[in-house]
Amino acid sequence: MYLWGSHLEGLEDFTHQFNKSIDFDKILFEEDIRGSLAHVEMLSKQEIISKEDCKIISNELKNILQEIKNKELEINLNEEDIHSFVENELTKRVGNVGKKLHTARSRNDQCAVDLRLYSKKVLGEIKEDILNLIKVIIEIAEENKKTIMPAFTHMQHAQVTSFAHYILSYAQMLKRDLERLYDTNERLDENPLGSCALATTSFNIDRFMTSEKLGFKKPTENSMDSVSDRDYVLEILFNNSLIMTHLSRLCEELIYFSSSEYNFIKFSGKFSTGSSIMPQKKNPDMAELVRGKSGRAFGDLFTVFTILKGTTLAYNKDFQEDKEALFDSVKTTSSCLKIMSAIIESLELNKKKMRESAELGYLNATDLADYLVVKGLAFREAYDLVGQIVNYALKNNLKLEDISLEKYKDFSEIFGEDLFDFIEIENSLKNRKVYGGPAEEAVKIQIKNLKKSLNL
Ligand code: ARG
């Protein structure tokens, strides 16, 4: 059952249970067999094993792969890891020929190549999940370029924006997330196979051939680094943590926007749950879970940071602990991205309430100051004057648009009838057409650029 020699006594069951990783690395079966197929074909081409042996081994490896996929062959969870399982299963079937597969290879480069193949695969999947969410955001933005809402700083009413402008800010975060995934993929796209335990091998292996067969850009440059490098795992864990940070912030906002106090949005009944005691309750569980699951992603990142920091070159068994964290982070991030797309897609906006709320909190105070600047006042003077006017409005429970022109003139003779147009909420939005701004024409450019850069 063990891959190592008879000079060792074998492990007691308790120790074997402690040592093994097959319970979680079993999901790497396809990557492991792909790696072995490339390896055995290379051994044959380099005349390290015969063509006949290669044929027997690769045919049976393909059978094993197919049978696992078809659920005809169960992975034996008593083996130490997925590498041991595949090799032992092969040898069980083809006899001693199977024992030639591990020539010029170690589990150290084998588990490294498996993990890089897995990483490339899941990066592709997460990319799709992000792209999908960006598309859903663009759709809701396109429908809501004129949907006025208040924007906040310090969670206090600040200025006017549109729902499109607000939600598109998350598309920008996700676009950066996407770019980081491409960047990580570019760096990890090198083949560690052939590094063997740490110092390659005396056999004349061809690492360029296995790289090509496995779809890597090239072989890794240094064999010691190759078997102990887990930087790409950390990069994925960091990327996922940042994605989860963005989703968590969005969920936090949507959760309070859905409260009775804000009442800006409604989650679809499909993404809410009730209470077992309070019959009226509609709880935003899915959004809360996404927010909560960000904690798992950060935990996974710091698990691997902590595992790596004290390890010497080259391979140490500590590295086996990288997998559960990586798998958990990938599963968490991918499922959260998917649920987020579904949540946004089915979001109901209460445009009336958002519009009403935009009239509160003097969102157009900056516009009033800008009006005075247009009329010739220095901005700081205008700022002070508007401060006094807001104070007056607050005391008298008035909106800026409710104050009479005569009263405005008491504050300054500069004010004229046109001030009311200037501070109207719709105009406040329309006037902010600077590149990147909330006016409809600026938002259209944002959407156009986003679509273009993502080939949508
Ligand atoms: N299960 C091990 C891991 O995931 C495979 C490598 C074992 N190598 C060794 N030298 N014990 O890291």
Q: Which of 3, 81, 105, 193 to mutate to test the pocket of ligand 1 (most atoms within 8 A of CB)?
A: 81
CA of residue 108 to ligand 1 center, whole Å: 6
CA 307 – CA 109 distance, rounded (Å): 19
Residue 150 phi/psi, 5-degree rounding, is -80, 145
Q: Is the CB of 81 under 6 A from ligand 1?
A: yes
Q: Is the CB of 205 under 6 A from ligand 1?
A: no
Task: Give 130-175 pLDDT, tens digit per residue.
Answer: 999 999 999 999 999 999 999 999 999 999 999 999 999 999 999 9
Q: Is the CB of 105 under 6 A from ligand 1?
A: no
Answer for the pair 157, 363: CB distance below 8 angstroms, yes or no.
Answer: yes
Alpha carbon separation from 38 to 82, 113, 454 (Å, rounded): 17, 11, 34
Q: Whose CA is nearest to atom 10 of ligand 1?
A: 108
Residue 416 CB partners (closer than 8 Å, separation 6+): 375, 405
Q: Is the CB of 317 under 6 A from ligand 1?
A: yes
Burial class for 36, CB neighbours closer than 10 Å (0-12, 13-18, 19+) = buried
CA of residue 277 to ligand 1 center, whole Å: 51
For the CA of 197, the closest atom of ligand 1 is: 10
Q: Whose CA is nearest to atom 4 of ligand 1?
A: 320
Answer for the pair 25, 84: CB distance below 8 angstroms, yes or no.
Answer: no
> Pseudo-torsion of CA 334, 339, 340, 346, nearest 10°?
150
Is the pTM for the entire model greater than 0.75?
A: yes
Q: Whose CA is nearest to atom 7 of ligand 1?
A: 107
Answer for the pair 112, 226: CB distance below 8 angstroms, yes or no.
Answer: yes
- At residue 64, the pLDDT reads 98
Q: Is the CB of 110 under 6 A from ligand 1?
A: no
Q: Whose CA is nearest to atom 2 of ligand 1?
A: 320
Q: Is the CB of 111 under 6 A from ligand 1?
A: yes
Residue 294 falls in the annotated catalytic set: no
For the CA of 25, the closest atom of ligand 1 is: 4
Residue 154 falls in the annotated catalytic set: yes
Q: What percent of the chain has pLDDT over 70?
A: 99
- At residue 4, the pLDDT reads 67
Alpha carbon separation from 379 to 242, 372, 376 (Å, rounded): 38, 8, 9
Take residue 266 and report the two structure tokens written for it.
Answer: 């409604």
Answer for the pair 368, 358: CB distance below 8 angstroms, yes or no.
Answer: no
For the CA of 81, the closest atom of ligand 1 is: 1
For the CA of 319, the closest atom of ligand 1 is: 12
- Helix (H) or strand (E) segment spanning residue 114: helix 107-143
CA of residue 107 to ligand 1 center, whole Å: 6
Q: Is the CB of 108 under 6 A from ligand 1?
A: yes
Tens of pLDDT, residue by residue, the chain (456 residues): 667 676 777 788 899 999 999 999 999 999 999 999 999 999 999 999 999 999 999 999 999 999 999 999 999 999 999 999 999 999 999 999 999 999 999 999 999 999 999 999 999 999 999 999 999 999 999 999 999 999 999 999 999 999 999 999 999 999 999 999 999 999 999 999 999 999 999 999 999 999 999 999 999 999 999 999 999 999 999 999 999 999 999 999 999 999 999 999 999 888 777 777 777 767 889 999 999 999 999 999 999 999 999 999 999 999 999 999 999 999 999 999 999 999 999 999 999 999 999 999 999 999 999 999 999 999 999 999 999 999 999 999 999 999 999 999 999 999 999 999 999 999 999 999 999 999 999 999 999 999 999 999
- At residue 7, the pLDDT reads 76
- At residue 392, the pLDDT reads 96
Provide the residue count of the chain. 456
Q: One of 259, 268, 275, 453 is an active-site residue; which one? A: 275
Residue in this structure with the two tokens 């056999």, named with its chain if needed: 203
Contacts of residues 290-294 at CB distance under 8 Å and 24 or more positions apart, as own/partner, are 290/244, 290/247, 290/248, 290/251, 290/336, 290/339, 290/340, 291/247, 291/248, 291/251, 291/252, 291/255, 293/244, 293/332, 293/336, 294/241, 294/244, 294/245, 294/247, 294/248
Q: Is the CB of 319 under 6 A from ligand 1?
A: yes
